[in-house]
Amino acid sequence: MVGTGTNELEAGKDSRYDRKAEVKAFDDTKLGVKGLLDSGVMKIPRMFHSPKLDPPETENSPSDSNFSIPIIDLQDRHVEVVGQIQSACKKWGFFQVINHGIPVGVLDEMISGIRRFHEQDADARKPFYSRDQNKKVRYMSNSTLFTDPAANWRDTISFNVYPDPPSSEEIPQVCRDIVIEYSTKVRALGFTIFELFSEALGLNPSYLNEMDSAEGQFILGHYYPTCPEPELTIGASKHSDTDFMTILLQDQMGGLQVLHQNQWVDVPPVHGSLVVNIGDLLQLITNDQFSSVYHRVLSRHVGPRISIASFFVNISSQGMSKVIGPIKELLSEENPPIYRDATIKDIIAHRIEKGLDGISSLEPFKM
């Protein structure tokens, strides 16, 4: 899940630069990056400058890449679908699904609803701006704004929808009905995909759902405004998601990239499709049979871009205290456990401490 930034410290090079004050003043506006643009900025403030945008030379530019993300038709023959999922989860950690059963009208309306929220008047958005973790509906720019070395060019509204959903009055009126409808439909699709994952792993179809993998869901409604200086900042820094699985709905703008064999590969928008990716927790319990891979979102002159990410993990205190480890049925003498057991809380806490550009967030949980 997007939240943290790059790890190189830029502030400090110039002792007169008061980053803290700049960040605080920005946060105090409660209007996000969209508010900055509305105020007419032509240059992006320094707090958004990413120190290194495309660091290791091994990460080639997308134009060099002949790879493309698998697209899986869920209406294909069942055995074929399971086979394609198995290979996509191992080799890519990312794929798109079509014919997934959620009407395209629902997807389009969800994108419109999130856009309406971010584009309504300042007075209407401001009351939702909050960093209070206990709120089930929150609007903010960069969840880890105060600890990241560089902010991302992005605003977000988040909904903690399962197991303890907000009351409908807590959801902004401009997107209320569609957020409720979309989240219910995506949760059902999540169950179906966890069944396919279970089968792809050679387990009983209900295995992952019985482990409560789909027992938690939260949604981030991202808004990536037009960026006047896209070469200086990024929409979402390189990261992997710390959940079991993420289902992402993106509009037609593009900009999402996946790191595959050391190359950044575009995830092209396909109208009506949904992007599915494996999170760190699923990589851990599958003992590396499935991979959680790095991804990022570029900032662009064109925009805005809207995307909606649904994360499957239970972040209630009860859910977070659950201990997970490699699934016993997947282990053997040739396949010894790579990871030790840990609580979901420990795994998530570790990644927050470490930031994102470090090694895999699963590294400390290796045997």
**What's phi and psi for 173, nearest 5 deg?**
-60, -35
Least distance from ligand OGA to the Cβ atom of residue 63, Å: 20
Q: What is the rounded CA–CA span in Å between residue 50 and residue 57?
A: 17
* Partners of residue 95 on adjacent β-strands: 276
Residue whose CB is less far from ligand OGA, 86 or 142: 142
Q: What is the rounded CA–CA span in Å between residue 104 and residue 101?
A: 9
Site mask, ligand OGA, residues 28-67, x = CB under 6 A?
----------------------------------------
Show contacts with ligand OGA in window 231-270 (CB under 6 A): 236, 241, 248, 250, 256
Query: Does residue 155 touch Ni ion according to CB under 5 A?
Result: no
In terms of Cα–Cα distance, which of 208, 189, 250, 215 is closest to 320?
215
Site mask, Ni ion, residues 215-244, x = CB under 5 A?
--------------------------x---
Cβ 121 vs Cβ 107: under 8 Å:
no
Q: Please work out the total of residues on this chain that contact Ni ion, with binding judged by CB under 5 A.
A: 1
Cβ 277 vs Cβ 94: under 8 Å:
yes
Show contacts with ligand OGA in window 285-324 (CB under 6 A): 295, 297, 307, 309
Collect contacts of 160-167 with beta carbons under 8 A, ≥24 apart.
160/136, 160/218, 160/315, 161/136, 161/187, 161/217, 161/218, 161/219, 162/187, 162/215, 162/216, 162/217, 162/218, 162/314, 163/215, 163/216, 163/314, 163/316, 163/319, 164/136, 164/316, 165/136, 166/136, 166/137
Show contacts with Ni ion in window 31-90 (CB under 5 A): none
Least distance from ligand OGA to the Cβ atom of residue 276, Å: 12
Q: Which of Ni ion, ligand OGA, none binds 307 (CB below 5-8 Å, type-dependent)?
A: ligand OGA
Structure tokens at 363: 């590294």
Q: Which of ligand OGA, Ni ion, none binds 250 (CB below 5-8 Å, type-dependent)?
A: ligand OGA
Least distance from ligand OGA to the Cβ atom of residue 309, Å: 4
Which positions touch ligand OGA (CB under 6 A)? 1-2, 220, 222, 236, 241, 248, 250, 256, 295, 297, 307, 309
Which positions touch Ni ion (CB under 5 A)? 241
